[in-house]
Amino acid sequence: QLVLTTLDVQGSIPDTRTLVLPGQTLPAASNDDQIAILGALNSLLSREMITYETREVISHVLTPEGAQIANEGSHEARVWSVLPEKGKGTPVSPVQLKKFVGDETAKVGQGRAFKNGWIGKDGDGLVKLVAEISDATKNDMQEIASTGTLKTGEKILADLRKRKLIVQRKIQWFTVNKGSNFSTSTVKPETDLTVDMLTSGTWKTSTFKKYNFEAEGIPTNGGALHPLLKVREEIRDIFLEMGFAEMPTSSFVESGFWCFDALFVPQQHPAREMQDTFYLSDPQRALPPQPEYYKKVSTVHEHGGFGSTGYRAPWSHEESSKLLLRTHTTASSAHMLYKLAAKCRGEVIEGDEQELTHGAKDTTNLDGKGDDGFRPAKLFSIDRVFRNEAMDATHLAEFHQVEGVVADRGLTLADLIGFMRVFFKKMGIENVRFKPAYNPYTEPSLEIFAFHPMLNKWVEVGNSGMFRPEMLEPMGFPKDVHVHGWGLSLERPTMIRYGINNIRTLVGHKVSIDHIENSAAVMF
C-alpha cells in the first residue's frame, strides 16, 4: 500500500531507500528493509500494477570497534581528552593513562595523538599540546553510519577497511514506476469466473488476474497403449508381412458345435465340462447350423467316415447346441475354413472368400478333374478366449490367443515346423523345439518350446498340429488339401517381454496406469 500511495502522489519512486516503512521513523536504508520491499514489489508486479528495476550499490557498515569510535571518539581523541593542558595540571604517567582509557586505546591512541601533534611529553608524563582538536576518524565513522559511504572517497574508506573499522556490503534497492494495471487499491484480482459472478453481475466490476502464458502447464496425459495391444500389433505385423489375412473374431459367444463338434472334439471330452467352459444361461441354445454340414459332422462323430471309425458314442444335439464363451479362437478358424471350402461344396460365395484367399488362384490342382474350387489361404487372428480356470499369478479366466492357419494342397508336418521356426524367429525366439502332443482336432500335434534365457529353461510357447480329415472333409475340402495351425497366448510373450511375473500386473483391476503409460513402445 505504501508503494502504491507513494507512486500515486509522486508518479514514481526513484529510490526505494527513501521510503519510510510503517512503524519506522528512518528511511528504509538497510538491506533487510529492501528485502521486505522487494516482496511487496514482486506481488504488485505479478498483477502488473507496477514495474521496477533493481539497482545495486556497495555500501559500508561499521564494525563494533567502528561503532565505538562513532559514539566515543577515536582512540587518539580519547587519549588527548584525558590529559591536562601543558602547565595547567599534573602530567599523566603512561601507567595512569592505561587506567583512564584502557590498554588498547592507550596503546593505539598515544602513537596517533603524538603523530597529529595533539600531545607531548612533560617530564615523565603526558600533556595536551593543543586546546582543541578535530576528530576526523569519528566524523568519518558517523558519516558512514548514516550514508554507507564517505564523500571524500575511496582512499580513506580503503584505509578504514584495513583498520577493520568498516566492512563492505552489497545493498539492493529499486526504482519503481506505475504498471499497466496501476491502482491504489490492493484488492486481490479474481482468478476464476464463477457462476456467482455471472448471476450477481459482479463480473462486470471485478478485476481479473491476467493469464500467465509463461507458466509451465500441467503435464498432459494422453492415451497410452496397453502392452498387450502393443505386442498384439507387433505379432499382427509379422502375420501381415508373411501374407496372412486377418479372420473376423468378434463373436465371443459360440455354440458347442463350432467350438468343439466341428473340430472333432468328442462330446464327452473333459474340456466341455462346466468347470472348464463357461456356458450361457440366457439364451442357452444356438440356432441350428447348416443341416447338411451338421449331418456330416454328427455322422463322423457317431459312426465315422472319411477313413475314420469315429467315436461310436451317441450324438447329443443338446451338447452341440449349447451356447458358450469360446475356449479357443480355433472356433473362429473352423468358421473360416468352412467358408473357405464353400466353393468346393459347390456353393457360390463372394466377397469373404475372396478376402480370405487374397484372390489366390489354384494352380496346384493335380487330380486332373479340373478346378475343384479350392483356393489356398493363410489366416490369422489375435483375440480373447475364456476358460473357467482357477486364477493364479499366471492364469486368468480370459486371455488372448494368437492363432495362425495355413490351408494348401499337400502340406506336411515339415511345412508346419518350418513355418513356426520362421514365425517365432520373427518374434525374436530363435531357439525352438517341438514335442509330440495331443489335440482332438490335430494329428500329429506338436507343442512348441522356446529356451528362456532369463529363466534358463525351456518353456512352452505354443501348440500346433495338422487338422484331422474328420474335421476338414465334412467341410468339403478335397482330400489333398491339408491345413495346419498353431496357437499361442498373447499374454505369455508380453509378460516375458516386459519382465512381468504376475498376470494381474497386466490385466484386471490391479493394473497400474503408470505402468501402462511408462512401458516401452516397442519390445521386439
Which residues of the shown chain bind ligand PHE in the complex (CB under 6 A)? 328, 330, 403, 439, 442, 463-465, 485-487
Between the alpha carbon of residue 404 and those of residues 137, 211, 334, 338, 494, the distances in Å are 101, 57, 12, 16, 18
In the complex with ligand PHE, the residue whose CB is nearer, 20 or 459, is 459
Q: Which uninterrupted H or E stretch holds 481? A: strand 481-489
Residue 160 vs 411, nearer CB to ligand PHE:
411
What amino acid occupies position 51? T
By beta-carbon proximity to ligand PHE, the closer residue of 141 and 466 is 466
C-beta of 337: minimal distance to ligand PHE in Å?
11
Q: How far is the CB of 495 from ligand PHE (least distance, A)?
A: 17
Residue 201 cell numbers, joined: 453481475
Shortest separation between residue 212's beta carbon and ligand PHE, angstroms? 59
φ/ψ of residue 342, rounded to 5: -55, -45
Residue with the shortest CB distance to ligand PHE = 487
Least spacing, CB of residue 467 vs ligand PHE, in Å = 7
Residues with Cβ within 8 Å of residue 31, at least 6 apart in sequence? 169, 171, 172
Which residue number, 122 or 403, has a Cβ lying nearer to ligand PHE?
Answer: 403
Query: In whole angstroms, how close is the CB of 486 to ligand PHE at the nearest point?
Result: 6
Determine the Cα–Cα distance for residues 287 and 130; give it in Å rounded to an integer: 133
* Cβ proximity of 27 and 131 under 8 Å: no
Q: Are 348 and 238 in contact (CB under 8 A)?
A: no
50/228 with CB nearer ligand PHE: 228
**Cα–Cα distance for residue pair 82/253, rounded to 1 Å:** 116
Task: Give just the sign of the alpha carbon dihedral 369, 372, 376, 380.
Answer: negative
- Please report how close the Cβ of residue 487 comes to ligand PHE at its closest, in angstroms: 3
CA–CA gap between residue 312 and residue 30 (Å, rounded): 107
Cα-based angle 68, 69, 75 (whole degrees, multiple of 5): 115
Least Å from the CB of residue 485 to ligand PHE: 3
What separation, in Å, do the N-terminal and C-terminal C-alpha atoms of the chain show? 65
Nearer CB in complex with ligand PHE: 439/494? 439
Find the shortest distance in angstroms from Cβ 341 to ligand PHE. 17
Which 8-state DSSP code applies to residue 149?
A: S
Return the number of the residue (376 or 465) whose C-beta is nearest ligand PHE: 465
Q: Which of residues 14 and 418 has its CB atom nearest to ligand PHE in the complex? A: 418
Query: What does each C-alpha distance from 410 to 226, 330, 487 come to in angstroms?
Result: 40, 21, 21
